[in-house]
Structure 1
Amino acid sequence: MANSLNNWRPNDPNFELKKDSFGNYILQIPKNEGTLEYKFNQVNWETAEGDENGNKLENRKLVFIENNQTVENKILSWEHSAIKKNTVADNVKVLSENFYIPQLKTSRRIWIYLPPNYSTSHKKYPVIYMQDAQNLFNDATSFSGEWKIDETLNQLFAEGNPDAIVVGIENGGTERLNEYSPWNNEKYGGGKGDAYTEFLAKTLKPYIDKNYRTLPQAKNTALIGSSMGGLISFYAGLKYPEKFGKLGIFSPSFWFNFKDLNLFVNKNSKNLKNTQFYFLAGTEESEDMVSDIQKVISVLIKKGVPEENSKTKFDEDGTHSESYWSREFGTAYLWLFTK
C-alpha cells in the first residue's frame, strides 16, 4: 500500500499486505492524525489498482479518528490492464537516453520541451528544470497520469503567453528518495541530494545553455518539482540562487527531515531577495504539509525575502497526485513567468 505516510513508496515492506486464514489481505498501520491518502499496487506503479474499467483510480482517503478503525477495501482491477497511450506532443523529445551524471556516477534519461516557435525564430528562451520526467509529458511513461506540461504550455503559447524551454530529468527509481534529499531519514534513506543538485547546477544547466538558445540568468531559470521533487527543487534553489531564480514547490516532502531543512533555510537565506517562490499544497494532504510550508516561508521573510516574491496556494480539494499538480501547473507557471 503506497501512501502519504511512506512517501508513496510502492514496495515498502512496512506496508505489505499479508493474507490471513480467510483469504483476506490484511495490513495494520500506525495510529496517526489527519487524512491518509493511499493506493494499492503489486510492488510497483506499473501495477497500481484501477477503477472498474481498468482506468486510473484516484487516491483513496482515510480520516483518522481516536479509536481503532477497521476499513474494508475492494480492488476492482489493476491499472496495467488498460493500455496507456503515448500522449507526448511533437515538440517534446528525449534529449538523451543516458545523460551522464558524474556527481552520482550514473546516467539518466533527459527530456526536453521546445516552444512551438523555437525552430522558426532566433529568440532566446527561459528554462524550467523539472524533476520526475517520467510523469511530465507522456501518459505511457507515467505511473499515475501525466502533468500534461506540453499540452498546457502549447495552449498558453497559442493564447499569447510567455514561452519557455522545459528540461525534465527522470528520477532514479529505487534511488529516487536517496537522490531527492540531501539529508538522511533513518527509515527511508536520503543523503545524495547535494550531489544531485550539483549535477543540475554545474553539469546539466551549462550543457543546456551551451546547446540551446536560452536566457541563462537566474531570473529566467526555474526549478519545479512535487513531493520529494519539491524538496530537492527548493534545496537547489537555496543552494544555487545565482543559477535558479524561480521555484515552483508542489506538495513538498519537508517532513522527510524538517529539522535539517529548517537549519539549512536559516543558514542559506542570503542572496534570495530576487528569488520567486510558488508553494502549492492540498490542505488535507498530510497533517504538517501546510504548517511546514508556512514555517519555511516565515523564515525566508525574516531573512529578507520580500513578501511579494512568495506565493502560496492551498486547496481543500488538493491531493498528493499528478492530476492535482497537472491542474495547477499552468497557474504556477504564469505567476512565475509573468510577475
Structure 2
Amino acid sequence: MSTNHNRIKVADLERNQANKTLITNRDGELEFCHINTLKPESYNALDYTSEGRALDARQGKVLKDMIDNKQVDLASDLETQIDNAVPEDKKVISRLKLFNWWTWIKSQTQTISATWNFKSALLFGNSGYFTSDSIRFYMRASTGKRLQIGVDGTPNDAISIDSSGILLRDKLTLNTANTTTPALILPNSTLTSTPQNGSIERDQNGILWETHAGIRSQIMTKDTISSISSSDTYLPSLDNILNFTGATLLNANYTKIGNTVSVKIALTGTPKALGSDTEIGISLPINRNSSTELLSGICVGSTVDGVNFSALVYITGSSTASIKYKLNTRGTSNIVADFSYAIN
C-alpha cells in the first residue's frame, strides 16, 4: 500500500453513511465502499490443502453428497477366506464378512509359529481341557471322560486315566537310582479299609504290605523278621506222667515266626510196663492262648533193642504238651518230638 494515500479524509469520516466499509483500492489508497459492492475471492476450498481456506455452503453440500453417494467396493467371503497373499485391491470388509472369516479360520488347520497366551482354559469339545494356575499346569478330561495318552501306530494307548485311577497298558520302567535319588518312593499312608488284590501299600509306620486272594500280609524285611521271629535252645521241664521213669532231656530248641512256634525236643527214658499207655509231659518255650490248638506234630522213637515206634503229641495246657505212645518191648526209649503250635 502506498504511504502517500494511507490517510482518510476527515470529511469522509463525518458523512455517517451506513453499510460502508474501509477497503484498499487498486492503487493502494484507503477509501470507503458500500458492502454490497464487495466481491469475495472466488475459489473452491475442496481444491486446496493449505490452511486458511474455508468451505462455503455450496462447497460443503458438494462434499456431503460425495460422501453419501460414495460407492464402496466390498470384499466377498471368497475374497476374504484366502490362504495365500494377493495384490492390494483396496476392498472393504464388512462386519458380516469379518464374522464369516473368523468362523472359517477356526475350522481350518493352522500352524502357529509364535507364542499364544491363553488366560483361561483351552477346551477340546466336551472331552477335556488344558488350564493352569500360578504354579501348576493341568491336562484334564471332563467329568465322566477318560484321559488317554499313547503313540500313533500302537494298538492301545499306553496310559489311561479315569476316576478309578491310572492304567498302564504295558510294563513300567523306572529310571536307574543314584546315590541321592531312589527309583521309586512309596510314602507312608493309611492302609485301605478293604484290601485290594495285587496292591502294595506302606502303612503309617513305614511297614510294607501286599494283598493276594483278598488277604493282606506284611512283606518281610530284615527288621520285621528280626522283630517277629526268634530262635533259641531251651530247657523244658519233663514230667513222668504215666508209665514212664527216668525222663532225661537230650536237647531242645524252638523257632518263633510271628504267631507260630516250632519246637524240637530229644529225650530218653524207660517205660515201666509193657503194652501200657505211656505219657511224658514237657513244658512249652512260649505260653499259648488256651483257645489255640496244635498246628502239627510228629514224634518218633526207638529202643535200645532196635525197635522203632511212633508217638503222638498233644497240647495239654497254656504252657505244657505231652507225648503219648504204647510200647511192647522193654528197654530205654529214645524219643524225638517235632511239633508246632499257635500262640494266639
Instruction: Work out which of the two has the higher radius of gyration on C-alpha atoms and give 1 or 2.
Output: 2
TM-score > 0.5 by shorter chain = no
Structure number with higher relative contact order (C-alpha < 8 Å, ≥ 6 residues apart): 1
TM-score normalised according to structure 1 size:
0.18
TM-score normalised according to structure 2 size:
0.18
Richer in strand (by share):
2
